[in-house]
Homo-oligomer: A and B are copies of this chain.
Amino acid sequence: MTEALVIFTPSGKRGRVALGTPVLTAARQLGVDLDSVCGGRGICSKCQVSPGVGDFAKHGVTVAPDALSPWNAVEERYKSKRGMISGRRLGCQARIMGDMVIDVPPESQLHRQVVRKAASSRTIEMDPATRLFYVEVPQPDMHEPSGDLERLATALREQWQIETITAGPHVLRKLQPALRKGDWAVSVAVFRDHMGGPSRILDIWPGLHEGGLFGLAIDLGSTTIAAHLTDLTDGRVVAAGGVMNPQIRFGEDLMSRVSYAMMNPGGDAEMTAAARQAINDLATSVAAEAGIDPALIMETVVVCNPVMHHLFLGIDPVELGQAPFALATSSALALPARDLDLSALNPEARLYTLPCIAGHVGADAAAVALSEAPQLSEDLVLIVDVGTNAEILLGNRDRVLACSSPTGPAFEGAQISSGQRAAPGAIERLEIDPATKEPRFKVIGCDLWSDDPGFAQATEKLGVTGICGSGIIEAVAEMRMAGIVDAAGLIGGPAQTGTDRCQAEGRTHAYLIHDATAQGGPRITVTQGDIRSIQLAKSALYAGARLLMDELGVERVDRVVLAGAFGAHISAKHAMVLGMIPDCPLEKVTSAGNAAGTGARLALCNIAARAGIEREVARIHKVETAIEPRFQEHFVNASALPHAIDTFPELAKIVTLPQVSHNTGGSESGGRRRRAR
C-alpha cells in the first residue's frame, strides 16, 4: 500500500494521499481549510488537528493506532513550551501512514466562522484583508546582488503565492534589522487591496510574531463614536468602547454642524480635527483595555452618515446642507490611516470607508445593508436605522430601495422638555395603568421598576434625571393607550382623563411622570409640545417607509428590522402603537442591534464583504424624500395617532385604544384590556 484514504471533518472532504504525507499537506491537496502561519515549519501551531482512532462506520473507515506517524520532538517541544490540548497533533508534523479520519477544530480553520452575538445568527467568515505570514528569506549574495525586500518578495511568492508586494518607508526602515534579528525568518503583516493595487507589507517582525493583528471597527455617529477592537485572526471583539462625539460642541445635530462650517471659516477643519482626535483617543483606550500595543492595529473600517463622512475625510460638508445634496465622493475609500491623521494606529495601518448610497444615505446605511443583507432576503424586509435621520431600506432578493427621512432629534431625547440622552438615570421604559393612569418606569442603571420596593434607595445616587428616546416613545404610546392622549395627539385635562397627573401648562396640558422637586430633583412631564415633536418624528419615519412601499407597489411588508443603538431599545409594540412603522406581525419585528457597527466588523473581517457591498450599493435604488410630493402627503396623513389601530390590523389584535372625548365633562374609562408585555 503506497496511499491512504484520509477524511477530514467537519468538511467531509476526502481523498487518497501518498503514505508519509503530512496532514497539513494533505489538507491543502484536498482543499481543506487548515490554518498555518509558518507554512508547516512546526513554529506557529496554528495547524493543530484531532486525529480519530477506531471504527468510523459512518465514513466506512477503521483507523489503526499507527495510522499517524509517532508524536515527535517538534510537537513535544511545542507542547512543553506552550501547552496543547491532549489528543491534538500538529498538522505539519504528523504524517499519514494509514487510512485516517482527522477533525479540524474551529480554531484551526483559517476561514473560521464567527457567530455574531446579535439576534440574527448569521456568521462572519474570517478572511481579513490583512493577514500574517511567516517566511524564510535567502541571505544576500554579493555575486547576485538584490535588495532584502526583493528577496523577501520572492520568498513570499514561492512560499505563500503572493504575487506582487510593496512596502513603504516605515517597513523598509524595519526590514534589515528584522531579517538579521530573526536569522532570516520574519513574520509580515500583508494587506491585500481588493481595489486592485499590489499587496503591501504593513509591518514586519523577527521570527514568529505572536502578538496578533487587530482591526478597529468604528461607528462614527453624530452623537457617539463607538469602536470595536477586533482580533483579525479569529474575529473576536477583544475590547469595545465609546465616547461622545466632540463635534457636539459645534452643533447638536448634523445640520447645525453644516451651518457651523458655513458660518465659520475653517470651522469644518476644527470639526475634522476633533473627530480624528477622538478616534485616536478611542483607539488608544480600547487597545489599553485589551492590553495590546495600538501599533498592532493594522486596519480600521469607519461607517458614518454622509456629513460625518465628509467631516472625517476633511471635506467641507456644505454641499450636503442644500439641494441637490451632492456628495464629494460616494465610493468606498481605501487609504493609509495616517492620511487622516490616525497616528495612534500602526503607521502603515489602512483605513476603509464603506460607500455612501446617496447624499442623505451614508456609509452607515451601506453598513446596515451589509449586515442585514436585504438583497438576500426571500421575504420583503423593511430595515429602519433610527436616529436624527432615519435611514430606511426596503427590499428583497429582487430589488432594494433606500431613502432617508428627516426625523429630527426627538427620538434621541432631544427637543423633548424632559428629554436627555440614553445615560444612567434616564427613564427608558414606562407603563401607564389604564385604570388608574398611574405610571411606573425603569431608569437606565437600575433593574427595578419605580413601584418595586427599594427603588428609591437604589436610585438615590443615580437620580431620575429625564427621559431618553426609547422612554419617550413608550410614554407617548402608553398615554395614548391609557386614554390620556387622543387620536389627534391632544393631552386631555384632569376632567377628561380622570387623573390629576394631567395638569394645565399654559393653554395645554402636561402629564406628570415623576416629581422630585421636593428633593431638589427635576419634575419630569410629557408636554403637549413633546407629543407634537414625537408626532413629527414618527410621521417622517412612517412616510419614508410608505414612500418606498409605494415605489415597490406594496401595501404590507413581511418583516421589520429596527437597527441602530436606539432601535435596539425600542419596544416594537410601542413603536407600532405610535405608527412609527408600517403594520406587520409583531413577532416579525426584530432588532438588529448596532447593525452599522456589525457591518463595519464584517468589512474588517472579510475582504469579499468590501467588494460585495460596493456592488450592492451601486444596485440599490435611491429615493429622494426631499423632492417626492408623495412624501409630504404621507407625512401629513401620518401625523395623527388613531391610524395605528385603524390601519394596522395586526396591532388591533393586541391593543384597543380608547378615544378621549373632549366634549364630555366626565372621564371615559379605558376599561381593562389585554396588554401584551
Please measure, in the bound complex, the distance between the C-alpha atom of A177 and the C-alpha atom of B340, giving whole angstroms.
Answer: 20
Across-interface contacts of A314 in B (CB, < 8 A) = 169, 172-173
Across-interface contacts of A339 in B (CB, < 8 A) = 168-169
Across-interface contacts of A356 in B (CB, < 8 A) = 147
- Looking at A20-28, A31-39, A622-630, the stretch in contact with chain B turns out to be A622-630
> Is A173 touching B316 in the complex (CB atoms < 8 A)?
yes
A140 an interface residue at 8 Å Cβ cutoff? yes
**A318: nearest residue on chain B (CB-CB)?**
B176
A239 an interface residue at 8 Å Cβ cutoff? no
> Is B324 touching A141 in the complex (CB atoms < 8 A)?
yes
> Is A324 touching B140 in the complex (CB atoms < 8 A)?
yes
Distance (Å) between the CB of A105 and the closest chain B CB?
A: 40
A263 an interface residue at 8 Å Cβ cutoff? no
Interface string of A314-345 (1 = CB under 8 A from B): 11101100011111111100010001100000
Distance (Å) between the CB of A401 and the closest chain B CB?
A: 13
Given contacts A324-B140, A329-B150, whether A176 and B316 have CB atoms under 8 Å apart is: yes
Please measure, in the bound complex, the distance between the C-alpha atom of A627 and the C-alpha atom of B326, giving whole angstroms.
Answer: 65
Distance (Å) between the CB of A349 and the closest chain B CB?
A: 14
Interface string of A138-155 (1 = CB under 8 A from B): 011111011111100000
Please measure, in the bound complex, the distance between the C-alpha atom of A169 and the C-alpha atom of B315, giving whole angstroms.
Answer: 8
Given contacts A142-B627, A196-B198, A197-B197, whether A326 and B172 have CB atoms under 8 Å apart is: no
Please measure, in the bound complex, the distance between the C-alpha atom of A36 and the C-alpha atom of B424, giving whole angstroms.
Answer: 66
Across-interface contacts of A196 in B (CB, < 8 A) = 164, 197-198
Across-interface contacts of A195 in B (CB, < 8 A) = 198
Please measure, in the bound complex, the distance between the C-alpha atom of A439 and the C-alpha atom of B624, giving whole angstroms.
Answer: 91
Determine how many copies of this chain the complex contains.
2
Within 8 A of B (CB), among A295-324: 313-316, 318-319, 323-324
A466 an interface residue at 8 Å Cβ cutoff? no
> Is B325 touching A142 in the complex (CB atoms < 8 A)?
yes
> Is B148 touching A329 in the complex (CB atoms < 8 A)?
yes
Q: Is the interface of A mostly helix, strand, loop or mixed?
A: loop
Across-interface contacts of A207 in B (CB, < 8 A) = none
Taking a contact as CB atoms closer than 8 A, the residue among B147, B169, B198, B326 that contacts A148 in the complex is B326
A7 an interface residue at 8 Å Cβ cutoff? no
**A196: nearest residue on chain B (CB-CB)?**
B198
A43 an interface residue at 8 Å Cβ cutoff? no
A651 an interface residue at 8 Å Cβ cutoff? no
Across-interface contacts of A168 in B (CB, < 8 A) = 335, 339
Please measure, in the bound complex, the distance between the C-alpha atom of A622 and the C-alpha atom of B146, giving whole angstroms.
Answer: 10
> Is A147 touching B624 in the complex (CB atoms < 8 A)?
no
Distance (Å) between the CB of A346 and the closest chain B CB?
A: 15
Across-interface contacts of A325 in B (CB, < 8 A) = 140, 142, 145
> Is B169 touching A330 in the complex (CB atoms < 8 A)?
no
A359 an interface residue at 8 Å Cβ cutoff? yes
Taking a contact as CB atoms closer than 8 A, the residue among B143, B169, B327, B358 that contacts A624 in the complex is B143
A167 an interface residue at 8 Å Cβ cutoff? yes
Given contacts A172-B313, A197-B197, A314-B173, whether A145 and B335 have CB atoms under 8 Å apart is: no
Please measure, in the bound complex, the distance between the C-alpha atom of A331 and the C-alpha atom of B148, giving whole angstroms.
Answer: 10
Please measure, in the bound complex, the distance between the C-alpha atom of A150 and the C-alpha atom of B143, giving whole angstroms.
Answer: 50
Distance (Å) between the CB of A402 and the closest chain B CB?
A: 10
**A402: nearest residue on chain B (CB-CB)?**
B145
A510 an interface residue at 8 Å Cβ cutoff? no
Across-interface contacts of A143 in B (CB, < 8 A) = 624, 627
Taking a contact as CB atoms closer than 8 A, the residue among B172, B315, B316, B330 that contacts A315 in the complex is B172
Please measure, in the bound complex, the distance between the C-alpha atom of A578 and the C-alpha atom of B377, giving whole angstroms.
Answer: 86
A384 an interface residue at 8 Å Cβ cutoff? no
Taking a contact as CB atoms closer than 8 A, the residue among B150, B313, B622 that contacts A331 in the complex is B150
**A153: nearest residue on chain B (CB-CB)?**
B331
Please measure, in the bound complex, the distance between the C-alpha atom of A198 and the C-alpha atom of B141, giving whole angstroms.
Answer: 35
A175 an interface residue at 8 Å Cβ cutoff? yes
Please measure, in the bound complex, the distance between the C-alpha atom of A168 and the C-alpha atom of B333, giving whole angstroms.
Answer: 9
Please measure, in the bound complex, the distance between the C-alpha atom of A55 and the C-alpha atom of B328, giving whole angstroms.
Answer: 56
Please measure, in the bound complex, the distance between the C-alpha atom of A314 and the C-alpha atom of B174, giving whole angstroms.
Answer: 10
Please measure, in the bound complex, the distance between the C-alpha atom of A318 and the C-alpha atom of B173, giving whole angstroms.
Answer: 11
Distance (Å) between the CB of A68 and the closest chain B CB?
A: 42
Across-interface contacts of A627 in B (CB, < 8 A) = 142-143
Taking a contact as CB atoms closer than 8 A, the residue among B145, B146, B358 that contacts A145 in the complex is B358
Distance (Å) between the CB of A512 and the closest chain B CB?
A: 45
Within 8 A of B (CB), among A114-147: 139-143, 145-147
Across-interface contacts of A624 in B (CB, < 8 A) = 142-143, 145
Taking a contact as CB atoms closer than 8 A, the residue among B169, B331, B622 that contacts A147 in the complex is B331
Taking a contact as CB atoms closer than 8 A, the residue among B169, B176, B319, B331 that contacts A149 in the complex is B331
Across-interface contacts of A164 in B (CB, < 8 A) = 196
User: Knowing that A145-B358, A147-B356, A176-B319 are A-B contacts, what are 8 other residue pairs whose CB atoms are under 8 Å apart, sorted by A's residue number?
Assistant: A140-B326, A142-B359, A148-B329, A149-B328, A149-B329, A175-B315, A196-B198, A197-B198
Can you identify 22 A-B contacts, CB atoms within 8 angstroms? A142-B324, A142-B325, A142-B624, A142-B627, A143-B624, A145-B327, A145-B330, A145-B357, A146-B327, A146-B330, A147-B331, A149-B329, A150-B331, A168-B339, A169-B314, A172-B329, A173-B313, A173-B314, A175-B315, A175-B328, A176-B318, A197-B197
